[in-house]
Chains A and B, each alone.
Chain A
Amino acid sequence: MTIQIQNLSKIYTSHVKEPGFLGSLKSLVNRKIIEKKAVNDVSFEIGEGEFVGLIGENGAGKTTLIKMLSGIIFPTSGDAKVLGFRPWERKNEYKKNFSVIMGQKNQLWWDLPAHDSFLLLKDIYEIEDSDFKKRLDYLTETLGMQNNLNTQVRKLSLGERMKAEIIAALLHSPKVVYLDEPTIGLDVIAQESIRKFLKEYNEEQKTTIILTSHYMDDIEALCERVVIMDNGKKQFDGKLAGVIEKYANEKIITLNFADEIEKSSLTKFGAVVSLKQSQVEIKVNRKNSTQIAGDLLKNYEITDINIRDISVEEIVRNIFKEGN
């Protein structure tokens, strides 16, 4: 097993401050300490070359878990081994074999072209000249970044910057990669191209990858297996197909009618989620959503129609409700 996590927990302590100036004064003298279980007794294993999606709402503990696996923070209790190393012991042999990409943080030097940062990483990770050239050519080509390496990072677009970050993180051929929200804030085209790249990369290089994302599309395109977390606890661990079948077998159709509409006349199509004057949201079965949409368009005068998946957030909420 490449990654083994056993009963891992992390408790953060912080103090609460009452609002306002008086609250500040009070907290100077007497601080109330509160504890938050960010990760609560989580265990699972990941094999070599697996691409696992880690999903959950904000504050579910995904990032804390990744921070522990990267050795950035110490766990409060429990144990984990990645490639045979305990991450927070921060052994150089471990550091040379993993990488972490954070969508909201950058490791590239802001004021210098990305290529300069790559050279620094080459020296830090002690990559041979010939390997470095091969890796860099391969990565820039597959990500389509040939023309952007000599521009200062601060002048790149968000999508280009993310691609440069990905190149930086993969230069030393890590065996394990943690991706924390790699597509956050990107437009659909950039998201799509990063997704495509990651899929190919995982298949070709047999790299073990853990991905956290808010976009169900990311997870669906990339991960066969998902681990769902809620409130620091592991709620689900299994095939993604299972999750979608079990929890996301519905789609939401949003309709704008030309005239006001009665709720009762729509119930035969699916469950009406919301009805605001002429705008209606209907939850329908995933399989025949297009057919229902067709029927609706035939029978009513509709000015706008939109079909979307249930978001990860909603799925997680469903799972959490069931857990209770």
Chain B
Amino acid sequence: MSRLKVYKRCIVMKVSETFEYRTSFFLKLFLASGINFLIRYLLWKEIFTYSGVTEINGYSFNEMVLYYIFSTFIYLIVDSNRVGIEIGKGIRLGELSKFLVYPITFFEYNFFTFFGKKIIQASTSLLALAAVFFAFPQLGEQFTITISTILMLCVLVVLGIALNFLIDLFLSNFAFWIDEIWTVIVIKMFITQLLSGMILPLDFFPKYAVEIFRFLPFQYILYFPVKVWLGQVPFAEIMFGIQVCVVWVFALMLMHFLFWRKGLRLYSGIGM
């Protein structure tokens, strides 16, 4: 099918482009997330040492470390902040014009180039993760992983990528109305960091909040797959989570296309 050929080509182009700047790519990938992880590691080490307890909220120190290793790893794969900023810029500076004349939608083009980037990020991060477990074999003894967990994780990560991408894509539409959407994306970033469990595992929040989070898309980006990985989510809850994700994927797509259609009428192709 010719459509599939375009998609494949978009992915290949993005992969080649990323390799053009491999140093910057690896620096961004590992330095930023390495520092992020280190801060959390040191913080929790102090908390555990000073409080003298062996468990906080059901997490042992080693489980806490694992939580942050997994969440850092998954974040590397699902992160999509650039998408919103890039598309917003495209709308503001008129670069969208060239996509409007192609016989392929802007959505397809963006999703598959994004996907190309994700493929390299996922494979390089997977190597890094393997290296971590090779260097600290005692970490591996904290959990057992089965084939079915791996399969479910794959499904959840793909859904997480889609959710995160669609949230950014939806927000980028605001560029039609307010021009500069950098602030919108930053606010989204803070909200996602908090509600996806990147800063703190979500079971540290009050009960009613946890109940609300089950119906929002954010926890499925990070917290949920990490908990599945740790083997702490019952099967029925995983199935429920997947359903919530699928509903959100369609809802976000619908919202995106509604705003996109309205926004395009305002688009003036500045600078062309």
The reply to whether the CB of B128 lies closer than 8 angstroms to some CB of chain A is no
- Residues of chain A within 8 A of B268, CB atoms compared: 12, 67, 73
Q: Are B101 and A100 in contact (CB under 8 A)?
A: yes
Which of the 9-residue segments A123-131, A194-202, A217-225 touches chain B?
Answer: A123-131
Q: Which bucket holds chain B's interface residue count? A: 20 to 34
Q: Known contacts A105-B95, A111-B17, A126-B2; decide if A72 and B100 are in contact (CB<8 Å).
A: yes
The smallest C-beta distance from A199 to any residue of chain B, in angstroms, reads 24
The smallest C-beta distance from A251 to any residue of chain B, in angstroms, reads 34
Q: Are A112 and B13 in contact (CB under 8 A)?
A: yes
Q: Known contacts A105-B98, A112-B17, A119-B9; decide if A96 and B103 are in contact (CB<8 Å).
A: yes
Provide a sorted-by-A list of 25 A–B residue pairs whose CB atoms are within 8 angstroms: A70-B101, A72-B97, A72-B267, A72-B272, A73-B268, A73-B269, A95-B103, A96-B103, A98-B101, A99-B101, A104-B271, A105-B98, A105-B271, A107-B98, A109-B17, A111-B17, A112-B17, A116-B13, A120-B6, A120-B10, A123-B2, A123-B6, A124-B6, A124-B102, A152-B20
Q: Once bound together, how far apart are the Cα atoms of A295 and B272, in whole Å?
A: 47
Q: Are A67 and B269 in contact (CB under 8 A)?
A: yes
Q: Known contacts A105-B97, A109-B17, A116-B16; decide if A123 and B272 are in contact (CB<8 Å).
A: no
Q: Known contacts A72-B267, A123-B6; decide if A67 and B103 are in contact (CB<8 Å).
A: no
The reply to whether the CB of A180 lies closer than 8 angstroms to some CB of chain B is yes
- Residues of chain A within 8 A of B21, CB atoms compared: 111
B interface list, Cβ under 8 A from A: 2, 5-6, 8-10, 13, 16-17, 20-21, 94-95, 97-98, 100-104, 264-265, 267-269, 271-272
Nearest chain B residue, comparing its CB with the CB of A180: B272
The reply to whether the CB of A74 lies closer than 8 angstroms to some CB of chain B is yes
Interface size on A, residues (CB 8 A): 32
Q: Once bound together, how far apart are the Cα atoms of A116 and B268, in whole Å?
A: 29
- Residues of chain A within 8 A of B271, CB atoms compared: 104-105
Q: Are B272 and A112 in contact (CB under 8 A)?
A: no
- Residues of chain B within 8 A of A96, CB atoms compared: 103
- Residues of chain B within 8 A of A111, CB atoms compared: 17, 20-21
Q: Which of B10, B100, B265, B271 has the most CB of A within 10 A?
A: B100
Q: 0/1 per residue, A86-116, Cβ < 8 Å to B?
A: 0000101001101110101101010110001
- Residues of chain B within 8 A of A49, CB atoms compared: none
Q: Are A125 and B103 in contact (CB under 8 A)?
A: yes
Q: Once bound together, how far apart are the Cα atoms of A126 and B101, in whole Å?
A: 15
Q: Once bound together, how far apart are the Cα atoms of A322 and B194, in whole Å?
A: 67
Nearest chain B residue, comparing its CB with the CB of A121: B102
